[in-house]
């Protein structure tokens, strides 16, 4: 069965420092991986996805993610964090059946302090 | 224009009542979903419709009944509301179930509180 794990409930980083939000996955077949961000009292916004090709994926708001097949990871990164990046981040994998559903990780709260 | 819109944004109701949440998307997508986010922020799929046909029903109590009058709309009706139904419900849409490389677009959510 497809699954996603985000091992950290919360990540704290100082503004201007690089940030990493971790995600590992378990899939049968090719992984189709996504990152979403949820700001307080808002819906989920798509950040980026990995389907195939280059292992470094660039997305919205300066975020990028690195796909690592051997470590089954898809960590979200940003070279320089902003206070406005503080939010809840979800990693997700496409379900194995042809239903289009997303299976989400537990979510990681990113706190960027000035 | 909002791509995926849900109404209402907030819903407070008493136990035992019946309520509906409406969702509309203007992206031309053919697949729509309902997700539930619990108090621990965990997100889980409830239902999915593709071209008005139900394709996912993830062991949701039959008090929950989705209805899709057309490809652009997916409503969620809940009968006999219980305290445990309190959550945020998200509608989403994407293009095609077989297109695994397409991302889903989410609405702003409906915060349901059952008292």
User: pLDDT tens, A70-86?
Assistant: 999 999 999 999 999 99
Within an 8 Å CB–CB cutoff, is residue A101 touching chain B? yes
Q: What is the mean pLDDT of residues B29-44?
A: 94
To probe the interface with A, which of B10, B23, B43 has the most A CB atoms within 10 Å?
B43
Q: Which residues of A touch B97 (CB under 8 A)?
A: 98-100
Model pLDDT, residue B98: 63
Q: What is the pLDDT of residues B92-110, one digit of tens each?
A: 999 866 666 789 999 999 9
Model pLDDT, residue A96: 65
**Residue A47, burial from CB neighbour count under 10 angstroms (0-12, 13-18, 19+):** buried
Q: What is the mean pLDDT of residues B21-35?
A: 95
DSSP states of chain A as a string?
Answer: --EEE---SEEEEETTS-EEE--EEE-SSS--EEEEEE-TT--EEEEEEE-SS-SEEE-GGG-EEEEETTTTEEEEEESS--GGG-EEEEEEEE-SSTT--EEE---EEEEEE-
Model pLDDT, residue B52: 83
Shortest Cα distance, chain A CAs vs residue B18, angstroms: 24
Q: What is the pLDDT of residues A19-73, one digit of tens each?
A: 999 999 998 888 899 999 999 888 899 999 998 888 999 999 999 999 999 999 9
Q: Which of A19-28, B3-12, B49-58, B71-80 has the lowest mean pLDDT?
A: B49-58
In B16-45, the residues whose Cβ lies within 8 Å of chain A are 31, 33, 40-45
Whether the pLDDT of residue B53 is over 70: the answer is yes
Q: Which of A6-10, B46-50, B76-80 has the lowest mean pLDDT?
A: B46-50
Shortest Cα distance, chain B CAs vs residue A77, angstroms: 19
DSSP states of chain B as a string?
Answer: --SEEEE-SEEEE-TT--EEEEEEE-S--SEEEEEEE-TT--EEEEEEEETTEEEEE-S--TTEEEEEEETTEEEEEE-S--GGG-EEEEEEEES-SS-TTPPPEE---EEEEE-
Q: What is the mean pLDDT of residues B81-88?
A: 96
């Amino acid at each position: 069965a497809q699954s996603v794990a985000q091992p950290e409930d919360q990540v704290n980083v100082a503004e201007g420092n690089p940030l990493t939000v971790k995600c590992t996955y378990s899939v049968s077949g090719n992984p189709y991986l996504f990152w979403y961000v949820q700001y307080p009292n808002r819906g989920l916004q798509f950040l980026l996805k990995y389907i195939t090709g280059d292992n470094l994926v660039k997305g919205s708001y300066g975020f990028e993610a690195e796909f690592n097949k051997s470590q089954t990871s898809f960590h979200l990164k940003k070279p320089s964090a902003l206070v406005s990046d503080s939010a809840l981040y979800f990693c997700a994998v496409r379900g194995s059946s042809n239903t289009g559903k997303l299976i989400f990780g537990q979510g990681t709260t990113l706190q960027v302090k000035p | 224009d909002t791509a995926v819109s849900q109404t209402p944004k907030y819903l407070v109701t008493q136990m035992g009542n019946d309520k509906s949440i409406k969702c509309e998307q203007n992206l031309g997508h053919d697949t729509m979903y309902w997700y539930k986010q619990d108090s621990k922020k965990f997100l889980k799929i409830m239902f999915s419709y593709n071209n008005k046909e139900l394709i996912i029903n993830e062991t949701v109590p039959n008090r929950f009944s989705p209805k899709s009058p057309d490809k652009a709309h997916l409503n969620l009706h809940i009968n006999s509301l219980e305290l445990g139904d309190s959550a945020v419900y998200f509608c989403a849409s994407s293009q095609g179930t077989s297109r695994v490389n397409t991302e889903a677009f989410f609405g702003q959510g409906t915060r349901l509180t059952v008292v």
